[in-house]
Amino acid sequence: MSAPLAAQHDGRIRALTPRPEAFLRRLAGRPLFACAVASTDTAEIPGISAAGETPEKRRYTAALDAEFLVLGRPVTLPEIPKNPLGPPSPVVITRAALAALDLEALIIDAGIRVAPQTPRLVLGGAPGRCITTGAALEYPPGLWENCRAAGRWLAASAPWLILAESVPGGTTTALSLLEGLGVPARGRVSSSMPGGNHELKDEVVARALAAAGLPAGASALEVAAAVGDPMQPAVAVMALEASLRVPVVLGGGTQMAAVAALALRLLSEGHPGKVENLGLATTRWVADDASADLPGILGDLGGSVAAFAAGLDFGGSAIPNLCRYEEGLVKEGVGAGAAAFAAFLGGWSHADLLGRIEGVVRGL
Amino acid sequence: MSAPLAAQHDGRIRALTPRPEAFLRRLAGRPLFACAVASTDTAEIPGISAAGETPEKRRYTAALDAEFLVLGRPVTLPEIPKNPLGPPSPVVITRAALAALDLEALIIDAGIRVAPQTPRLVLGGAPGRCITTGAALEYPPGLWENCRAAGRWLAASAPWLILAESVPGGTTTALSLLEGLGVPARGRVSSSMPGGNHELKDEVVARALAAAGLPAGASALEVAAAVGDPMQPAVAVMALEASLRVPVVLGGGTQMAAVAALALRLLSEGHPGKVENLGLATTRWVADDASADLPGILGDLGGSVAAFAAGLDFGGSAIPNLCRYEEGLVKEGVGAGAAAFAAFLGGWSHADLLGRIEGVVRGL
């Protein structure tokens, strides 16, 4: 257990919730890393996301992230996604951290329009409509049974899991899901844009919630169906099922806080799962985002989901497009924070991990 | 290592090739069990298969096997596949053995027409045409890269792997692939029918090879494209990639001998892989099948693929439809032999495993 504590001491791993030690101690051995990808028409709203250079290119963001993560190169288009101002997708962090740990990523298709040209675990979900319809998701028959089966299988395959995501527009659907579940989130979710785009998000989410007209007693999965994205309920149900057996780290920032909120609501509705096996890991950029409030959201969830920030700092990088992460141009995605968290837990120093990330960026 | 050796001594595990000890010793820890499912129009030929009651129902055999294996119940139709004379699909053995080992199965979709209603790892392959076209398979772009990525991922997830199959009509495509690769197999592959249906198989395969008109220097993957089924090259490429890192047990009888032959040919063509990490496990019913010659085929492959038979014997079962396995009505499928092999390696007695299998059958 000295590695995690040492990592905590020098700032590589920081706890965002009280009493994280018991959860951290259970993260022994090599995790399984899975990344759930999904599409929503919400991402088509102009100005909603910077996870990709243009709205057209954002349709390919999740596929390209998945391809680069698994195959080491994009297939569907010639280049991996980047912020309109230049910085590359956070998948470069994930790819470097998983390689450092000698881990391979599993792509989970939670409902994607442009399928990545990688092996992908299909659950049966469909892409999401725009949340402003108030009827964002269809749940095909058997979806929950598939998600539970996948969760059982994942849990039987490794001593602990990281479940990450690549869903463009996902912080907006995080906001709508949190608000729909009654968790105050306005002005508190992160964004792929510096300073956030809270006004646009608020307006879209207000329209979504008005269109949904959720009754007071709406169930967790009804709320997600109305104003969520396909990744959220799929990952929540998989994570709960897996939590019966092993610790599960949700890999992401405020998007995964929304998944955690959904999972906690499902638990309160009697869905099986173990809250003490649920955690979350993200980046310092999300944890310290002055335009958001992840710690506050986690606090409103009761602090029961152990949460951590990986102390990535690209200020000293020799690569200008990595330095720009420090401006808030890119903060999280594709489980970058959780993958770095796992690398730090595994004993990697910040300097060595940064060197690996720079190597990945130079190879682009 | 005492468990495997003890299991060998009392007949629960029998070696079918010389010097199996080195391979057996490397099978330590909990394996990952994956079952590749695929469809071919070859299975539509009347009389070609008894893996399902009727030709119509055989279209659902692989989906139902997968559903029962993963979910514990069939979804697409009300009942699991059975031989026209009554005995249930060998999936009952696989399900019982995996449950005994507390393992969950991963379904790999190598190209199936009726997709199982389970999570499934999609590789991108398509269902196969009838081999009598001589042009059975299309290889979409990226298929091999996906198979290699899946192999790497599987190998990173467990200390050893079992790769099994459910492909109706698969012993006929095994015959055509073996013959196409120059391995004498006429009269030597098993069948889902007692006594085999060698005449029909021979006629179909002769037409397939004539239609294919394979040139003398045809590559391994060209032979499979002409007269194979989608499972064969997908599993061969995954197994070779995984063999670079961990031992891989091909779960099946003469169908997996054909996959082994394909893998060995790929190796000889320079495809990366480690032959010492390739093995095969099947049932006693296939190994001792008087209408076939698995040991002979394995010998013709040079004996380099360590092979084993699980000593299942249903003669003493209280369930008549299980006893009928001893008549040769059902011999193998869905990795039944390899799953029983793993259970015996894991220390399960024959009596206890049979009791578990009977429990599964009673629950149908």
Chain A: nearest CA to B357, how far in angstroms?
21
A104 touches chain B (CB under 8 A): yes
Q: How many domains does chain B have?
A: 1
Helices of type H across A244-282: 254-268
Using alpha carbons, select from B54, B173, B56, B59 the residue that is nearest to residue B113: B59
pLDDT in tens, B11-52: 899 999 998 899 999 999 999 999 999 999 999 998 888 877
Chain A: nearest CA to B320, how far in angstroms?
32
What's the full length of chain A, in residues? 364
What is the pLDDT, as a whole number, of residue A54? 81
Let me know: does B340 contact B304? Beta carbons within 8 Å.
Answer: no
B118 touches chain A (CB under 8 A): yes
Q: Please say if the pLDDT value at position A312 is more than 60.
A: yes
**CATH code (residue A191):** 3.40.50.10210
Could you tell me the residue range of the domain that residue B39 belongs to? Answer: 2-362
Using alpha carbons, select from B26, B344, B62 the residue that is nearest to residue B155: B26
CA dihedral B348, B352, B356, B361 (to 10 degrees): 130
Which of B30, B67, B71 has the most A C-beta neighbours within 10 Å, making it the best mutation to test the interface with A?
B71
The Cα–Cα gap between B201 and B215 comes to 22
Chain B: nearest CA to A40, how far in angstroms?
21
* Start-to-end Cα distance in chain B: 36
> Which of B104, B145, B150 is the closest to A156 by Cβ?
B104
* Start-to-end Cα distance in chain A: 36
Report chain A residues whose CB lies below 8 A from the CB of B117: 124, 141-142, 145-146
B247-265 average pLDDT score: 98
Using alpha carbons, select from A120, A64, A152, A76 the residue that is nearest to residue B109: A120
Q: Please say if the pLDDT value at position A9 is more than 70.
A: no
Which of A33, A64, A70, A104 has the most B C-beta neighbours within 10 Å, making it the best mutation to test the interface with B?
A104
B150 touches chain A (CB under 8 A): yes
Among chain A residues, the shortest Cα distance to B121 is held by A121
C-alpha dist (Å) from residue A75 to A58, A71, A166, A335, B278: 15, 9, 16, 20, 31
> Which of B71, B153, B158 is the closest to A149 by Cβ?
B71
Q: Which three-class secondary structure state does DSSP give residue A131?
A: helix
Q: What is the largest CA-CA distance in chain A?
A: 53
Mark yes or no for CB contact B153/A124 under 8 Å: no
Residue at A27: amino acid letter: L
B103 touches chain A (CB under 8 A): yes
Contact map slice: A 208-267 vs B, CB within 8 A: none
pLDDT in tens, A278-289: 999 999 999 999
C-alpha dist (Å) from residue A78 to A52, A60, A64, A68: 13, 11, 9, 11
What is the pLDDT, as a whole number, of residue B7? 66
Q: Please say if the pLDDT value at position B9 is more than 80.
A: no
Q: Which three-class secondary structure state does DSSP give residue A274?
A: coil
The Cα–Cα gap between B75 and A109 comes to 21
A146 touches chain B (CB under 8 A): yes
Contact map slice: B 14-33 vs A, CB within 8 A: 32
Q: Please say if the pLDDT value at position B58 is more than 90.
A: no
The Cα–Cα gap between B305 and B23 comes to 9
Q: Is B46 exposed, middle or buried (0-12, 13-18, 19+ CB in 10 A)?
A: exposed
**Beta strand pairing call for A248-251 and A161-166:** parallel
pLDDT in tens, B278-299: 999 999 999 999 999 999 999 9
pLDDT band at B191 (very low <50, low <70, confident <90, very high): confident
B153-166 average pLDDT score: 96
Among chain B residues, the shortest Cα distance to A70 is held by B149
The Cα–Cα gap between B126 and B76 comes to 20
How does the average pLDDT of chain A come out, rounded? 94
B139 touches chain A (CB under 8 A): no
What is the pLDDT, as a whole number, of residue A303? 86
User: Which DSSP string do the residues of A6-64 spell out, in sequence order?
Assistant: HHHHTTSEEESSS--HHHHHT--SPPEEEEEEE-BGGGGSTTS--SSSSHHHHTTHHHH
Among chain B residues, the shortest Cα distance to A140 is held by B117
Question: What's the pTM value of the predicted model, to 2 decimals?
Answer: 0.94
Count A/B contacts: CB-CB distance under 8 Å. Answer: 74
B67 touches chain A (CB under 8 A): no
B327 touches chain A (CB under 8 A): no
Q: Please say if the pLDDT value at position A339 is more than 90.
A: yes
A105 touches chain B (CB under 8 A): yes
Using alpha carbons, select from B157, B139, B222, B172 the residue that is nearest to residue B51: B172
ipTM of the complex: 0.91
Which H or E element spans position A344? helix A336-345
Report chain A residues whose CB lies below 8 A from the CB of B152: 104
Which H or E element spans position B242? helix B231-243
Mark yes or no for CB contact B158/A153 under 8 Å: no
pLDDT band at A206 (very low <50, low <70, confident <90, very high): very high
Which H or E element spans position B240? helix B231-243
What is the pLDDT, as a whole number, of residue A8? 64
Instruction: Return all residues near B308 (Cβ < 8 A) that are at least 6 apart.
Output: B13, B14, B15, B16, B20, B24, B279, B280, B281, B282, B341
**Token duo for residue A8:** 């905590």
Which H or E element spans position B62? helix B61-71
Which of B102, B146, B152 has the most A C-beta neighbours within 10 Å, making it the best mutation to test the interface with A?
B146
